[in-house]
Amino acid sequence: MSRYRIVGVLELIASTAAANRPSRVAFWADRMLRRQFYSVMPQAVCVWARQLGCEVRYATYFGQHAPQRLLGRDLDLVFIVAPSQQSALAYALCRYHRSQGARVVLAGPHARAYPADARRFADIVVTTADRLLVEAVVRGEIEPGCIVRSARPLRELPLVEEREQEIRTAAYAGERRLRISTVATVSSLGCPYTCDFCSEWDTAYVGPRVEHLSRDLAFIAERFPNALIGFHDPNFGVRFDETLSAFEVVEPGRRNPFVMECTLSILNASRLARLREVNCQLIAPGIESWGDYSDKTGTRRRSGRAKLESISARIRDISRFVPALQTNIILGVDADVGPEPFELTAEFIREHPGVWANVNIPYPFGGTPLADRVCREERLVEALPYMFYTAPYPAMHPLHYPVTEYLRRMVGIYRLLVSARRLAGSLRRIDGWLHRAVWTARIVALRAELAELQAFVSALHSSPDLRAFIDNRTRRLPAFFA
């Protein structure tokens, strides 16, 4: 039995700034597209609490007004799940719900990265969780002031049918399913790789449970016909044949379209053909860096231009089987030196106008080897609030670039990504109005990010206070961030 009668679960997907975008396209992106980026784990918490007899209220915040009202009143226990970019809002909501008499649990990526900081605002901080730990919290077995983690790796999540009402709450507009409504799920847990920037670097990999996955896919085909499935695995298909066998249980005409992220190293021609047969619509392979992390791309002995040429050939092969591609590239990792990484990225972007190039700034999130190294080498921007651990702001000094030079080069990449010429070329290669609409909305959001980046670079040159802050010569927050 539960100690708490009414349990609320709130996932923060967007900060309050998302509600204030001026254009209609950006509004659509924030209010309709952004809400589809909900997570599976908060919904699992709902299921486990409900099975203990609790009344459960679930909501996601994606830019609406008044997030403190999303769960209603008279709550006994509140779980708030947030990344570091939403940490300021998460802290404010912790204070609000505690003032209303609820016990507050802060969980998710921010709690995992910065548990000691999170404990200042929440009653309980959960860094990693499984069913047993969530049940202990809901039964009142965890005392306030504790930072807790599960005793064993997460090995199982509730079925999609158990999360159905939460999926509809997160992905639908009221009772209406949208054309972009997505069913989020996983086929595996953890990650077999140890990338130093990733919070999953030390998480044990748990492969697919074929019977569980087959049941989920059959249920989705029945209850959410033609809805897009979004797989949240850090690396989909590591055990490829087992994973795909679950999809092949569903009849070909009933298979839902799906998107996933995987490594290039698993994608040979025969596997790509099988992915097409089971209705894979988008693959997001991680290039990560032109000089590092090559195990995931199958280019272990290649770097620089040789790696670019190898990956470009693979991308062309993949595009023959899958309608949409996104690549993830990080610029400014410790292996990057000189202009070459930026030049290779620009060349890749020009060569593949139909591929969404997701170019990222590295962030040293707490608990990762990257964070440990950056702190040890005194490269961290020490007083930067965690809510600014997001593009376009730097949270660390790149090893081989002055900050101003690095950001100037990033401006060039952003300009290329959002140029009218590239947009026109991309739209000519993209099939379907929905894919074009999503692409255009992402370009609008990226242009807003470019404007923020340019304003930040300008302020670095004109504001001694900001430059002193970034260089750790003062801990006083500059007016720019106010």
**Does 112 lie in the same domain as 257?**
no
User: What is the average pLDDT across 372-385?
Assistant: 97
Distance CA 28, CA 108 (A): 26
Q: Determine the pLDDT at residue 18.
A: 44
Examine the pLDDT at 339 and tell me if it is beyond 60: yes
Distance CA 177, CA 36 (A): 12
Q: Of the residues 127, 149, 171, which one is the last residue of a structural domain?
A: 149
Residue 38 in any domain: the answer is yes
Q: Determine the pLDDT at residue 164.
A: 98
Distance CA 365, CA 384 (A): 12
Q: Determine the pLDDT at residue 65.
A: 83
**Does 350 lie in the same domain as 204?**
yes
Beta bridge partners, 149, equal 128
Token pair of 40, please?
A: 């599976």
* 78 and 105 Cβ atoms separated by less than 8 Å: yes
* 94 and 12 Cβ atoms separated by less than 8 Å: no
Residue 477 in any domain: the answer is no
Residue 170 in any domain: the answer is yes
Q: Determine the pLDDT at residue 19.
A: 44
Could you give the dihedral angle defined by the CA atoms of residues 399, 403, 408 and 412, in that order, rounded to the nearest 10 degrees?
A: 40
For the chain, the domain total comes to 2
**Does 117 lie in the same domain as 170?**
no
In this prediction, residue 304 has a pLDDT band, given cuts at 50, 70 and 90, of confident
Residue 216 in any domain: the answer is yes
Q: Determine the pLDDT at residue 397.
A: 97
Residue 471 in any domain: the answer is no
Nearest alpha carbon to residue 89 among 14, 9, 26, 169: 14
**Does 104 lie in the same domain as 14?**
yes
Token pair of 292, please?
A: 């590092």
User: What is the average pLDDT across 33-54?
Assistant: 96
Residue 19 in any domain: the answer is yes
User: What is the average pLDDT across 46-73?
Assistant: 95
* 345 and 331 Cβ atoms separated by less than 8 Å: yes
Examine the pLDDT at 143 and tell me if it is beyond 70: yes
Phi, psi for residue 229 in degrees, rounded to 5: -95, 130
**Does 196 lie in the same domain as 108?**
no
**Does 185 lie in the same domain as 45?**
no
Beta bridge partners, 59, equal 10
**Does 77 lie in the same domain as 170?**
no
User: What is the average pLDDT across 34-38?
Assistant: 93
Q: Determine the pLDDT at residue 297.
A: 56
Q: Determine the pLDDT at residue 195.
A: 86
For tokens 């449970």, the residue is 209
What is the end-to-end Cα distance of the chain in Å, rounded? 46
Query: Does pTM top 0.85 for this prediction?
Result: yes
* 75 and 6 Cβ atoms separated by less than 8 Å: yes
At 194-240, the pLDDT tens digits run: 888 888 888 889 989 999 999 999 999 999 999 999 999 989 989 99
Nearest alpha carbon to residue 110 among 39, 195, 8: 39
**Does 382 lie in the same domain as 253?**
yes
Q: Is 53 left (phi over 0), alpha (psi -120 to 50) or beta?
A: left
Residue 240 sits in a domain whose CATH number is 3.80.30.20
In this prediction, residue 60 has a pLDDT band, given cuts at 50, 70 and 90, of very high
8 membership: H or E segment, kind and range: strand 6-12
In this prediction, residue 15 has a pLDDT band, given cuts at 50, 70 and 90, of low
Residue 206 in any domain: the answer is yes
User: What percentage of the chain carries pLDDT values higher than 90?
Assistant: 77
User: What is the average pLDDT across 74-86?
Assistant: 97
- CA distance readout (Å), 244 to 107, 110, 160, 211, 398: 32, 33, 18, 12, 40
| Angle in degrees, CA 332, 337, 342, rounded to 5 | 60
**Does 457 lie in the same domain as 391?**
yes
At 433-459, the pLDDT tens digits run: 778 888 888 898 899 999 999 999 999
Counting Cβ atoms within 10 Å, is residue 251 exposed (0-12), middle (13-18) or buried (19+)? exposed
Non-local CB neighbours of 228 within 8 Å, separated by 6+ positions: 180, 181, 182, 183, 256, 257, 258, 259, 281
**Does 351 lie in the same domain as 211?**
yes
Examine the pLDDT at 26 and tell me if it is beyond 90: no
In this prediction, residue 321 has a pLDDT band, given cuts at 50, 70 and 90, of very high
Q: Determine the pLDDT at residue 435.
A: 83
Strand segments (E) across 129-225: 147-149, 182-185
Nearest alpha carbon to residue 14 among 79, 76, 59: 59
User: What is the average pLDDT across 157-170?
Assistant: 97
Provide the mean pLDDT of the chain. Answer: 92
The DSSP code sequence of 405-468 is HHHHHHHHHHHHHH-HHHHHHHHHH--SHHHHHHHHHHHHHHHHHHHHHHHHHHHHHH-HHHHH
At 95-117, the pLDDT tens digits run: 999 999 999 999 999 999 999 99
Non-local CB neighbours of 302 within 8 Å, separated by 6+ positions: 294, 310
Residue 456 in any domain: the answer is yes
**Does 49 lie in the same domain as 193?**
no
Examine the pLDDT at 470 and tell me if it is beyond 90: yes
Rg (CA), the chain: 22
In this prediction, residue 17 has a pLDDT band, given cuts at 50, 70 and 90, of very low
Beta bridge partners, 359, equal 329
Higher pLDDT: 265 or 283? It is 283
**Does 302 lie in the same domain as 344?**
yes
The residue count for the chain: 482
Token pair of 163, please?
A: 């999360």
The DSSP code sequence of 44-89 is HHHHHHHHTT-EEEEEEESS-S-GGGTT-S--SEEEEE--GGGHHH
Token pair of 480, please?
A: 């720019």
Helix, strand, coil abundance in the chain, percent, nearest 5? 45, 15, 40
Q: Of the residues 149, 168, 188, which one is the last residue of a structural domain?
A: 149
Residue 38 sits in a domain whose CATH number is 3.40.50
Residue 288: strand, helix, or coil: strand
* 413 and 346 Cβ atoms separated by less than 8 Å: yes
Range of the domain at 299: 160-464
Distance CA 473, CA 464 (A): 10
Listed range (190-194, 361-365, 446-450) with the worst mean pLDDT? 190-194
Q: Of the residues 94, 124, 149, which one is the last residue of a structural domain?
A: 149
Examine the pLDDT at 167 and tell me if it is beyond 90: yes
Distance CA 92, CA 354 (A): 41
In this prediction, residue 350 has a pLDDT band, given cuts at 50, 70 and 90, of very high
